[in-house]
Amino acid sequence: MFLCYHCQSETPLSQAIRAEIGGKQELFCCNGCLSVSQIIHNSQKEAFYRLRGSSSLAPISSELHYKEASINSEFTYKKFVSYTDSELAEVDIAITNIHCAACIWLLEKVVSEKEGVHSMRVSFANSKAHVVWDDSRTKLYEIITSIESIGYHPVLSSPLGEELQMNKASKDLFQRMIVAGFCFGNIMLFSAALYAGFFSGIESNFRKMLHYLSWALATPAYLYAGLPFLRGAYYALKHKVWNMDILLVFGVSLAYFYSVYVTVYDIGEVYFDSVCMIYFFVLLGKYLEMQARKKVGEQIAILLAELPETVVRLKGGTREEVLAQDVEVGDILLISPGERIPVDAELLSSTAFVDEAFLTGEARPIVKKEQNELLAGSIALQSLIKIKAKTTAYDSTLAVLKKLIENAILEKPRIQILTDRLTSYFVYLVFAVAVLTFAFWLWYGSPFVDSLVITISVLIVACPCALGLSVPIALVMHHSILAKGGILVRRSQSLEFLAKPDTIVFDKTGTLTQGNFKVSKENVSSQKIKQLVSIVESNSTHPIARSLLAHLQE
């Protein structure tokens, strides 16, 4: 076994591809990694490997997913591209396989240096790139191919619709979390002085000043950062439903107003730091959950992102380019080799080779005959084919699959229904324990203030936020991780069943193995014959042709 020079994935030495990079002989796991490494070195971006360190990448796929005519069409520009005040074009691109900061550095360097590109910024938090360029000097397709050329998978991201709403909600949650964290951090500085003064003594004026400063910082955290919980508690009480928000708000409010009382009358200790800390960590949990859901949403979007934006339709003996979403049942379409089929259709040509791995995981091409059904998302290979649309883009197999996955994310498995039910009972239980605690300490002879402080501690410590958030976050992350591996879950209950078996039997040979043809033995020694084979197969998209070319390139 050896580690690939580019992606550092472990590969059998017998499959090694050897090449000279930077004056040294290096080993690669595939031609994709070799090509990308050559591009990186030729463009003098070798610093990528130093910045990456020991991080491993995914092996590179050398197949391009986009067609130039589709990407540069007016339909694509209208849907994905916007313009700045200075008439520069801008687009958001989701990059699905960013692994580390070195990936971001390489992407920004390569794309920014293209002619006409004004700026390229990549966010590691959401793997989104924002590109601004002069469309008169370079086109969107050239930007997309430059990203693909260095081994990354770009997916055009629409600035409209659900994604915009989710980004807005995520930004709002993040801002509230930052306010709570900022206030919490600064109040802790004052608290350190107050804790030290509690044991070693502190002047009354200094203690008052620190109390008032803490109050000033805790108030925006209580009102702004805590607004979602205050609102949730209000509506819960209005509808006579007890939930986590009531418990959280009640405990935090007692701590806040008790601390205000202590500050004004200069008695006891304040707990403003606890107010900010609790809101900060609960908001952090909710923010992480939202980011996880966002990731799953992006994985679902990728299902449809590789479909062509436009397609050639035959109408009255003439060809016309139309939006894929405007295709109607019964339309006759022409699909070029290497192009994805936009809708479920019936084959009108005599035969066709199609790649359905995108949907079924079947790695080998399927031979289709006239009147056979073709699935949306599959790739036409080898030759131009004529098809008849049987569905619209909204009713295709792929669109139905997308809806099933979305429903699976929303569906609650039994374990989540159980935790939700436990949470509701737990709220009643905690309130009962808090009341009994307060009554006990008063009866025991403790001062009212001490009894109240102990009660606040019970309410805050026992808040079941972790219980309520843990299962949804775990499920969302599970969907996300499985989607990245090409596994799409139709029912959330499946995840519970999958925890029980100790043996799984598969019958999908091409799914679990590489699924590509590979030359295992060669009897040809003539270089001329090899060159002729290479020329003959160079324009073919057939899997055997591609395997021969890959072997000859080695």
Helices within 411-464 (DSSP H only):
414-443, 448-461
| C-alpha distances out from residue 363 to 14, 378, 423, 538, Å | 23, 11, 46, 21
- Whole-angstrom distance, CA of residue 104 vs CA of residue 488: 28
Amino acid at 349: S
d(CA 295, CA 98): 13
Check 326, 450, 502, 507 and give the catalytic one: 507
Q: Are 124 and 101 in contact (CB under 8 A)?
A: yes
> Which residue in this structure is represented by tokens 């130039």?
68
| Contact indicator for 60, 6 with CB cutoff of 8 Å | yes
Cα–Cα separations (whole angstroms), residue 312 to 95, 309, 339, 354, 454: 28, 11, 11, 18, 73
What is the β-pairing status of strands 366-369 and 351-355? antiparallel
**274 three-state secondary structure:** helix
Cα separation, 353 vs 360, whole angstroms:
15
Strand 373-374 to strand 345-347: parallel, antiparallel, or no bridges (unpaired)?
Answer: antiparallel
Which residue reads 């000033």 in tokens?
Answer: 216
Q: Annotated catalytic, 507?
A: yes
* 128-153 b/e (C-beta count within 10 Å ≥ 16 → b): bbebbbebeebbbbbbbebbbbbbbb
Phi, psi of 87 (to 5 degrees): 65, 20
What is each CA distance from 76 to 66, 245, 353, in whole angstroms?
A: 12, 44, 28
Identify whether the C-beta of residue 181 lies closer than 8 Å to the C-beta of residue 218: no
Lookup result for tokens 């203030």: 449
List beta partners, residue 82. Answer: 90
- Positions marked active-site: 507
